[in-house]
Chains A and B, each alone.
Chain A
Amino acid sequence: MIAIVDYRAGNLTSVLRAVRHLGHEAEITDDPQKIRAAERVIFPGVGAAGETMSNLRKLALDSVLRDDVFRAGKPLLGICIGVQVIFERSEENDAQCLGLLPGEVRRFPARTGLKVPQIGWNSVRQARPHPIMRGVPDRAEFYFVNSYYPAPARLEMVFGLTEYGREFASVVASENLVATQFHLEKSGPVGLRMLDNFCRWNGKPC
């Protein structure tokens, strides 16, 4: 069973629909017991960092994600806001985040010609191989909607890079955690391929 974390935001049903379409069992839940018992966990979504973190704390899911999922070695996938709250802090609402990985989340600079948020399909250059990118062509395009981008403190955590005004980390991974800034569930067949890879991944980096 795959647990899709319900933190009262975002469009969780589109992730559920995609995972089930791929033939995997999944459930949207905010129940710590179910999340602890799940084989793997997806933290999807659309939302603001501040509100996401305060909902996670209210539901007591911040410690569950940190201790019972990430530190327990369970495969964990973050999508969109899910790649942002794994860092220490975000410029969005100046939010303190989960701190699973060292680094922070920054806003795209306001300047002429650069529309914020970024909305649309952008390519991902594969900086280093990862099991969840197996079978995905290098520089394939994925669907992005974001005003902020992850800035990991360590280069070895960067697996995918995307250009939007500047180059930023669009796929981040460390140990049993992998996270994408783009929406796998809305990125057509290549997105589904990555989602399926995650649903079969043993949580080992290589």
Chain B
Amino acid sequence: MLTKRLIPCLDVRDGKVTKGVKFRGNVDIGDPVEFARMYYEEGADELVFYDITASNERRGIMIEVVRAVAEAIYIPFSVGGGLRTLEDMRAVLLAGAEKVSVDSGAVRNPEIISQGARAFGSQCIVLSMQVQRAPVTEKIPSGWEICIDGGRTRTGLDALEWARRGEGLGAGELCVNSIDQDGTRAGYDIPLTRAMAESVGIPVIASGGGGSAQHVYDVCTDGKADAAILASIIHRREMTIPDLKKELAGMGLPMRMNW
């Protein structure tokens, strides 16, 4: 039986892991390769690196991080943040990432999804999206709107329509990040995740708000998610991946337990 994936997400700025609340006030908290090795050894099913480095000149640092991580861990990991062109994608895939994730860049230029899928295969392309609740209007019938630039800019795009479009363009997975829940540890956005999972036929990764095993359980059952992103709760060692897996397996959620 296919297991549900637990995916630590590491926000990386200028080569250092950070984790902020609601996308603001990031504080440096560590070395990405050390985090990657620790989570690998603890049984993380996959990792996500999100490059939030602002300046383009420092992007080269991220490629070095990807290369070092690929030497250290032997599970899939994806890299996102600021990828705008096919060449950006190729660079991180060649450095050793299994997948690339596109976000704001794909909203500005949706063709990047189809170009990436053609060049590297759909399984390489994760469409990541920042979603925020919005008043239901003709343009946003679902009441969920796509935001870009770290959640600062609203786009007027309906999130479910964008997800379906992304799938049609060749995205292999969706990563749905709820801005309303991000950093709150109050639980994932279940209605949003479920609406996404029911709108597309590709795997859905829930992100934003995970603070306990119960939250993961709820989003993987009621929310119909295939995977859950974890951040501050495990980075600050309030819970570990093995603790979470043991608890989730005990609750009946299919988990990878041998590694």
Interface, chain A (partner B; CB < 8 A): 11, 13-14, 17-18, 21, 46-47, 115-123, 137, 139-141, 143-145, 163-164, 183, 185-192
Contacts and interface: CB of A to CB of B under 8 A. Distances in A.
A47 B258 CA distance: 28
A118 B259 CA distance: 20
Given A13-B96, A119-B172, A21 B71 contact: yes
Nearest to B94: A13
A115 B203 contact: yes
Given A17-B96, A115-B203, A120 B227 contact: yes
A132 to B, nearest CB: 16
Contacts of B122: 117
Contacts of A187: 74-75
| Contact residues on B (Cβ < 8 Å of other chain), bracket | 20 to 34
A23 to B, nearest CB: 14
B123 A188 contact: no
Given A115-B226, A120-B203, A185-B74, A141 B3 contact: yes
Contacts of B98: 11, 14, 186
7 contacts: A13-B96, A117-B122, A120-B2, A120-B5, A122-B1, A140-B258, A185-B74
Nearest to A184: B74
B242 interface: no
B173 A163 contact: no
B203 A137 contact: no
B76 interface: yes
A17 B76 contact: no
Interface in B1-44: 1-3, 5, 40, 43
Nearest to B75: A188
Contact of A122 (B2, B71, B74, B75): B2
